[in-house]
Structure 1
């Protein structure tokens, strides 16, 4: 089982989204606590980060030991520009 840590920037980005979208994203991230076996997870090329897909939105995260750190949340058109 994993612990979830949200970086301040990721929380701020999540708060700016529509409440329905942010709720879906939050639930999807919480589902990571049980394990990283979701088909929507992919490792980013040449990076230690991973992405989780929720519709048109992406969550950028990393994990170490038993902690998942959420770094960024945003629309797929813009999220990769800011990594």
Structure 2
């Protein structure tokens, strides 16, 4: 299941899709963390973003102790997971 929202990127539009896991994590966070996540995700691809080694198009966004794992293809950002730093890379 994907949740979609749009945000402006320059003159064009960029879509942000949230996978169910990411939405579940966001809903479990407190209000200030939700706001921090929302603000940082809407500013993508800006921020502390790095490409994950060994993966074709997987990236991570660092927001304090949290890591947002996402893919970026054809002006569509798919937020796959949001995890604390210590657990973020264990699935990889």
Q: Which of structures 1 and 2 has the bigger CA Rg?
A: 2
Secondary structure at 1:46 match in 2: coil
- Which segments of structure 1 move beyond 6 Å, counting only runs of 4 or more? none
Alignment of 1:66-77 (within 5 A): 66-77=75-86
Alpha-carbon deviation of 1:26?
1.2
**Partner SS, residue 82 of structure 1:** coil
Q: Do 2:21 and 2:80's aligned partners in 1 also have CA atoms closer than 8 Å?
A: yes
Q: Which runs of 5+ in 1 are unaligned?
A: none
Greater helix content: 1
Distance 1:22 1:56 in 2: 14
Unaligned residue ranges in structure 2 (runs of 5+): 1-8
Question: C-alpha displacement at 1:22, in angstroms?
Answer: 1.9
Shift of 1:18: 2.2
Q: Distance in 1 between matches of 2:91 and 2:40?
A: 22
How far the C-alpha of 1:27 sits from its partner, in A, is 1.0
- Residue matched to 2:43: 31
User: If the length of structure 1 is used for normalisation, what is the TM-score?
Assistant: 0.86
Name 1:45's counterpart in structure 2. Answer: 53
What is residue 13 of structure 1 aligned with on the other side?
A: 25
Q: Deviations over 1:5-59 (max 9, x none)?
A: 1111110011122221121011100112xxx2x2400001101210001111110
